[in-house]
Amino acid sequence: MRVLYIEDNAVDADLTRRYFQQHHAMIELDIVSSLADGMVKLSQSHDYHLLLTDLRLPDGSGLEALSWVRQRGVPISVVILTGQGDEASSLAALKQGADEYVVKRNDYLPGLAASLFSALARFRSVPKYLSRHIRVLYVEHNPYDADLALRFMATHAPYIELTLVSSASDVLDRLPEQSSEPTEFDLVLIDYRLPGKDGLELVRELRHTRQLTLPLVLITGQGSEEVIAQALHLGIDDFISKHDGYLYELAAFLEKVCRTSELRKEHRELLKLNAALRQAQAVFDSTSEGVLIADLKPTILAVNKAYTEITGYAEAEVLGKNPGFIKSGRHHRTFYQTLWKSLAETGSWRGEIWNRRKTGEVFPQFLSLNTVVNEQGQATHYVGIFNDLSYQKESEQRLQTLTHYDPLTQLPNRLLLLSRIDHAIDQAEGQDRQVAVLYLDLDRFKNINDSYGHQEGDGCLKALAQRLSHHLGKEDTLARTGGDEFIVVLEGLSHPERAAQKAESLLELMQKPIVLSSGLEVVCAASIGISLYPQDGTTATELIQYADTAMNQAKSLGRNTYRFFTEELTIQARCRLDLENSIRKALKDNEFVLHYQPVIDAHTQRVVGAEALVRWHQNKQNLLGPDRFIPVAEECGLIIPLGRWVLRQACQQMRHWLDMGIHLEFMAVNLSGVQFNLGSVEQEVFEALQRSGLPPSFLDLELTESIIMNYGSQSLSVMNKLKEQGVSLSIDDFGTGYSSLAHLKNFPVDRLKIDKRFVQSLEEQTKDMAIVTTIINMAHNLGMKVVAEGVETQAQQALLKQLECEFFQGFYFSRALDEDAFADWYAAHSSKYHHS
């Protein structure tokens, strides 16, 4: 209900406002302090339901406000506030059309809301009552009196519809058997003298037997005081005596009876309403659920005790604020947009939401929001009711922990482990990767329990679980499946050797002593079994079973070791790990060397450049090509220090040759994708050039198509920075990747190198001829030059020259040579073609 309250006493106005906010939030007060301001408000807004005005105002009287409203036909109920001892003014207000007056006693505020609702109900009922006819069931046995009454009402009060019957039995036939059934009449007009049952007996039947609440009026003769007394005792609403001219009074009399009956009904309804309000207030104050009421802005108008207890905010701290002031920050803007959309479209929203207490603690609620509408269906308020879900969430978390985690170590248990393995399998399947399950069983752990007791054994397991957890990566899973058994899940593996490497690191870690609470130190060695997806199994159960089998094999071989489920994989993994360790040692012992393959100008046959190719002089005996060790170096990260060494060595060699008079235009050095992604290539190149003193224009960096395509915008950024240093760039093995012309034109490339597989089949494969022709033409159109790799015959050279390929490289001219052999070959070749 919207109420305009005119009150010049600021203390009274504030007391009323606070009381309504706390106890009757559905009443919205708009307070002004003068008659003039009140008239302005009423002129500007037609949304008020009721005018509450003090009788005495600084610039006039409340009666003037009442007169102003009634003269202009403003559809609003009016209640006058008067002081004690001012009954005359109160009566004057009622005569002028006020719906109610309230005396300002010390305790008037608790009953004020009920008075306002009563006044509003009374105001609204009067127009409805006057706008309809009064339907009267008229029982009269005298035909003359009946006819006279019918004709009189038809002429002088046509809005009163008389339905004539002549006996009590006729009345009983026309009225319902019980009060709950509807009736077509508004009133029963009963003549006392009836044949058979008289008027008193009929009243007794209607009031006491059928318990009808319909208004009853008795017509008596003059001098019938005893009959009237009995009738009133039986429950008639009123009586009228037949005297000369009584029909002139009858219409107004019946109106008064109906109006009085309506008021009694309103009073009963108001009593029910007040009782309901008291009940609602009791529920509002005592419920354990937090409740808030807000207007449409939204601004908080009222909160209950539970709201303050749950949030920690006092009532005074939240009134007038936007309900969102306790937002937690956990929800995205779209969450709140969906909430308000639901509230606007359906009038309600229910769901879980996180808010923040006054202490700063974020907590979960289950919130039910509803829109309150008025009689016209227009939204007026919002009501929110919420439960604190903190305890429920904590219980759920405890249950989750008990269900999925080992109580001793807090590691995932077998149930959660199975779920993690299933997830890892799903991920690996989509990425063409492998999953490893490592089954760890502690060797002779029973001895620790037997020697030091189960309490020390449990402490040892907890310490070991913590140590293993810190060692493993975030993406790995460590679980305890029982007793002295642990399982590790490794995801996203590209080779089984990673699992072997992890197993060796775990075995090494477990050799470190654990200090028991007694101060004693123990070593918990383990045997590890490894199974792989998809090689060994495709389900979590299979992988655990096969890892268990492999673990038992490791135990049978002497413990403190690991085994794959497949023996072949164990051997392969050991060999690969040995190779990795050998590469690491070779870097330390300077066993790597560079060989150089000449690059020939197609037209002049002059040597214009060289490509640096790394070789491994293993143990100063065997010379291994890059295919034997580069893939392993890339996987374990050793390619970064190896690539740095190659780059620096090649730059130094080029500088040395230039100083010797070997005039090459460029030295080509291959870059690995790992270098490109993980290393700081720009800085490495800058330092290599600085250390060697080689001008940047003499260095050509070769990148594969896959590097450019895989790293996209990152590739372009790095390549631009390299070009800014002054080096040239080539795409190696072109034609084997997925480059497109649209991509290629965006990169600052100087040369394309055609893969040797296309070159070596030029003479037999017409399709390869077409591919090579397309590559050369495309490169020329983009301003690039072309190097053909793997040229081994004079016919291949001739075809490529015919296709206008600028440079050749291959065994037809020379294999890759060490630095001394290259210098000798260069001298001989230059002498042969007169380019010394």
- The pLDDT tens digits of the residues spanning 229-283 come to 999 999 999 999 888 778 878 887 888 888 888 888 877 877 787 777 677 677 7
- CA-to-CA dists, residue 730 to 324, 611, 671, 754, angstroms: 59, 12, 10, 11
CATH fold of 590-832, please?
TIM Barrel (3.20.20)
* Distance from C-alpha of 269 to C-alpha of 261, rounded to nearest angstrom: 12
The neighbour count for residue 708, using CB atoms within 10 Å, is 24
pLDDT of residue 204: 93
3-state percent breakdown (helix, strand, coil) of the chain, nearest 5: 50, 25, 30
Query: pLDDT tens digits for 96-109?
Result: 778 888 888 888 89
Sign for the pseudo-dihedral over CA of 106, 112, 118, 123 = positive
| CA 785 remoteness from chain centre | 54
Does the pLDDT at position 297 exceed 50? yes
AA letter at 222: Q
Instruction: Determine what percent of the chain is predicted with pLDDT higher than 90.
Output: 50
CATH among 3.40.50.2300, 2.60.120.10, 3.40.50.1100, 1.20.1290.10 for 2-130: 3.40.50.2300
Of 55, 101, 109, the closest CA to residue 78 belongs to 101
Question: What's the CATH superfamily of 134-251?
Answer: Response regulator (3.40.50.2300)
**Can you give 580-623 as a three-state secondary structure string?**
HHHHHHHHHHCCEEEEEEEEEECCCCCEEEEEEEEEEEECCCEE
Domain with CATH 3.20.20.450 in the chain: 590-832
Q: Which residues pair with 369 in a beta bridge?
A: 349, 384
| Over residues 24-33, mean pLDDT | 90
pLDDT tier, 126 (very low <50, low <70, confident <90, very high otherwise): low
pLDDT for residue 836: 43
pLDDT at 639 over 60: yes
At 442 the three-state DSSP class reads strand
Question: What spatial distance separates the first Cα and last Cα of the chain, rounded to whole Å?
Answer: 107
pLDDT tops 60 at residue 130: no
Closest CA to 133 of 164, 113, 154, 108: 154
Q: Which position has the higher pLDDT, 72 or 689?
A: 689
- Phi and psi for 75 in degrees, rounded to 5? -80, 75
Question: pLDDT tens, 502-521?
Answer: 999 999 998 898 888 888 88
CA 594 – CA 600 distance, rounded (Å): 19
Among 67, 122, 40, 382, which residue's Cα sits nearest to residue 4? 40
* 129 has a pLDDT exceeding 80: no
> Where does the pLDDT of residue 577 fall: very low under 50, low under 70, confident under 90, or very high at 90 and above?
confident
Q: Which of 533-542, 578-587, 603-612, 760-769 has the lowest mean pLDDT?
A: 760-769
Per-residue pLDDT at 197 exceeds 90 = no
* Alpha carbon 36 to chain centroid, angstroms: 52
Q: Where in the chain is the domain with CATH 3.40.50.2300?
A: 2-130, 134-251
Q: Which two tokens stand for residue 43?
A: 């002129």
- Is residue 456's pLDDT more than 80? yes
C-alpha distances in Å from residue 15, one per residue of 4, 9, 756: 15, 10, 95
Q: How many CB atoms lie within 10 A of CB 39?
A: 18
800-823 confidence digits (pLDDT tens):
999 999 999 999 999 999 999 999
- pTM, rounded to two decimals: 0.44
Where does the chain hold its CATH 3.30.70.270 domain(s)? Answer: 408-581
Tell how far CA 674 is from the center of its chain: 37
Whether the pLDDT of residue 225 is over 90: the answer is no
Instruction: Using the structure block, give the residue that is written with the tokens 């199994």.
Output: 537
The set of residues, in sequence order, having a beta carbon less than 8 Å from that of 258 and lying 6+ positions away, is: 129, 134, 186, 187, 215
Angle between helices 109-130 and 246-286 (to 10 degrees): 140
Rank 270-279, 340-349, 690-699, 765-774 by mean pLDDT and report only the highest. 690-699
150 band by pLDDT with thresholds 50, 70 and 90: very high
Beta bridge partners of 612: 596, 669
For residues 536-541, average pLDDT: 91
Judged against a pLDDT cut of 50, whether residue 127 lies above it is answered with no
Q: Which one, of 280, 4, 256, lies nearest residue 116 by Cα?
A: 4
Q: Is the pLDDT of residue 788 over 90?
A: yes
Average pLDDT over residues 681-710: 90
d(CA 740, CA 491): 33
Q: At residue 662, does pLDDT exceed 90?
A: yes
The pLDDT assigned to 132 comes to 56
Residue 234 CB contacts under 8 Å (≥ 6 apart), including other chains: 200, 203, 204, 207, 208
Confidence of residue 293 (pLDDT cuts 50, 70, 90): very high
Tell me what pLDDT residue 742 has.
55
Longest CA span, the chain: 159
Level-2 CATH architecture, domain 294-394: 2-Layer Sandwich (3.30)
Q: Residue 49 CB: number of other CB atoms within 10 A? A: 20
Mean per-residue pLDDT, 218-227: 84
Nearest residue to 369 (alpha-carbon basis) of 356, 381, 355: 381
**pLDDT averaged over every residue in the chain:** 87
- Quickly list H helices, 287-374: 305-311, 315-318, 333-346
CATH 3.30.450.20 range(s) for the chain read 294-394
Let me know if 567 is exposed, middle or buried by CB neighbors in 10 A (0-12, 13-18, 19+).
exposed
Which class is 408-581 in CATH?
A: alpha beta
Q: What is the average per-residue pLDDT within 699-705?
A: 90
- Predicted confidence (pLDDT) at residue 131 exceeds the cutoff of 50: no
